[in-house]
Amino acid sequence: MGAIASHHRRPLAKHFEAFFSAPAAPWTRVYRANDLVPGDVIAWLEPPETHSRNTGHIVIAADRPHARGDELVIRVIDSSHSGHGKGDRRVREARNGLGTGDLVLHVGADGRADGYRWSTWKRSKLFLTPVAIGHLP
């Protein structure tokens, strides 16, 4: 992955999303979000309506996802300024940084993730945005 971000100090979320859309060996792309396994990396682009300087976000799957309508709930590991709902210690302890919590992936008719909700809370907004998933065997 180093070559894709050679002009940056570190790879950004947009670099991961682009790479996982057409990965190089040994990485493979996970097309159907339901095929996620622990350790897979999920990257998405920052939705334009968020007006952020971030290019997106990256999480690591901690468990296999489970279905909730046209969405999948998945426990993830990431580093963030905000946690993923009540089950995330970052929310309970009002802190940021590395943690785990439940994220929701929206899934299109073709089985591919095409958006996310930050948590399982009912008020968690759906953002439709490019999502790419990478798997390292």
pLDDT tens sequence for the chain (137 residues): 444 545 668 899 999 999 999 999 999 999 999 999 999 999 999 998 887 888 999 999 999 999 998 899 999 999 987 878 777 788 877 788 888 999 999 999 999 999 999 999 989 999 999 999 999 99
Number of folded domains that form the chain? 1
Considering the domain boundaries, does residue 3 fall inside one? no
Residue 85 domain-assigned (yes or no): yes
Q: Residue 80's domain spans which residues?
A: 8-135
In a domain, 95, yes or no: yes
In a domain, 2, yes or no: no
Helices (H), 1-80: 13-21
The answer to whether residue 118 is domain-embedded is yes
Tell me how far apart the alpha carbons of residues 1 and 23 are, in angstroms, rounded to a whole number.
9
Q: Which residues contact 10 (CB under 8 A, 6 or more apart)?
A: none
Sign of CA dihedral 60, 42, 78, 6: positive
For residue 124, tell me if it sits in a domain: yes
Domain presence at residue 1 = no
Residue 100 lies in a domain: yes
CA separation for the pair 97, 82 (Å, rounded): 8
